[in-house]
Amino acid sequence: MQTEVTRLIQSHRSIRRYTDEPIGEEVLADVLACAQWAPSSHNVQAYSVIVVRSEEKKRELAQLCGSQKWVERCPVFLVFIADFYRLKQACEMNGTKLAADEVENLLVAAVDTALAAENVLLAARSHGLGGVMIGGIRNKPQEVARLLNLPPLTTPIMGMCLGYPDQDVEQKPRLPKRAVFHDEEYRSDHFPEALEEYEAISSEYYLRRTRGERPEGWTKQMADYLSKPRRAHLSGFLKEQGFPLK
Ligand SMILES: Cc1cc2nc3c(=O)[nH]c(=O)nc-3n(C[C@H](O)[C@H](O)[C@H](O)COP(=O)(O)O)c2cc1C
């Protein structure tokens, strides 16, 4: 049994091509308001959102995100920032010192930020917009921080392209439910056959989507993706930004 909301959630697909139609201020304001109604760990609200409309800035960000042309072409690009800078000020206003040295604080901020971001994407879709989240914003964090004037105790977590869809893409199949959901306890004996099934389903999908060019299914893609270091520069950047991650 579905509701309007569950139908919206279950029809998700990332959209990377947009029409020229601008996003109206009222629509954007309504969408952004939804970020703040995500739940937040201990109500710390440890995120900020930077709205980028400037063509020049989008062009620069597109380059910094790994030459992702949808970052440049979307009418609105949002940057979701994990933010303990404001919390430091709240502590100082009350005569205490922020002790945000542990991994836990970054996790709290990253989770808060992601919850806010997904609210925004869903809200945008409910207005007929489409979008895609952009982890490429963590490719060159120093340059992004400089461009966006980020203070210490902040770090970009993800970007988001938003615009009215100019493409209708097939939904990307997800893992079989039995590989994800467990009853009462974690069981993994059925993983091999569930993963084989998903390899076949996802391979067919990628063959269709790439017109025969990319036959690798999900397990093959993950085996390649996860066997190489990813954004190894991030721990150094986080330390520079005041997240020592003890
Ligand atoms: C945190 C996050 C970062 C992502 N970064 C990028 C990105 O940099 N570029 C991109 O094109 N898609 C990016 N995506 C989109 C994913 O590739 C996409 O969600 C995934 O392949 C599933 O496809 P779907 O969203 O169409 O269902 C990102 C998604 C998430 C959640």
Kindly state if the Cβ of 68 falls inside 6 Å of ligand 1.
Answer: yes
Tokens representing 87 are 């919390």
Separation of 62 CA from ligand 1 center, angstroms?
A: 15
pLDDT in tens, 184-225: 999 999 999 999 999 999 999 999 999 999 999 999 999 999
3-state secondary structure of 27: helix
Phi, psi dihedrals of residue 186, rounded to the nearest 5°: -75, 125
pLDDT in tens, 127-148: 999 999 999 999 999 999 999 9
CB neighbours of residue 153 within 10 Å = 21
Separation of 120 CA from ligand 1 center, angstroms?
A: 15
Tokens representing 122 are 């869903």
Q: What is the DSSP letter of 43?
A: G
pLDDT cut 70: percent of the chain above it: 100
Any idea which of 92-96, 102-106, 110-114, 118-122 has the lowest mean pLDDT? 102-106
Separation of 91 CA from ligand 1 center, angstroms?
A: 35
Q: Report d(CA 50, CA 62) in Å as an integer.
A: 15
CATH of segment(s) 4-169: 3.40.109.10
Please say whether the beta carbons of 161 and 77 come within 8 A.
yes
| Number of alpha carbons in the 13 Å side-chain half-sphere of residue 29 | 3
Name, in order, each residue with C-beta under 8 angstroms of 105's C-beta and a sequence gap of 6 or more. 46, 84, 243
Which amino acid is it at 180? Answer: V
CATH 3.40.109.10 range(s) for the chain read 4-169
Q: Report d(CA 34, CA 163) in Å as an integer.
A: 17
Mean pLDDT of the chain: 97
Please say whether the beta carbons of 34 and 160 come within 8 A.
no
Longest dimension (CA), the chain: 63
Q: Report d(CA 226, CA 144) in Å as an integer.
A: 25
Element spanning 52, H or E: strand 47-52
**Closest ligand 1 atom number to CA of residue 13:** 26
pLDDT at 99: 85
pLDDT at 100: 72
Kindly state if the Cβ of 217 falls inside 6 Å of ligand 1.
Answer: no
pLDDT at 95: 98
Separation of 12 CA from ligand 1 center, angstroms?
A: 11
pLDDT at 246: 83
Residue 107 pLDDT grade (very low, low, confident, very high; cuts 50, 70, 90): very high
Kindly state if the Cβ of 209 falls inside 6 Å of ligand 1.
Answer: no
CB neighbours of residue 146 within 10 Å = 11
Kindly state if the Cβ of 13 falls inside 6 Å of ligand 1.
Answer: yes
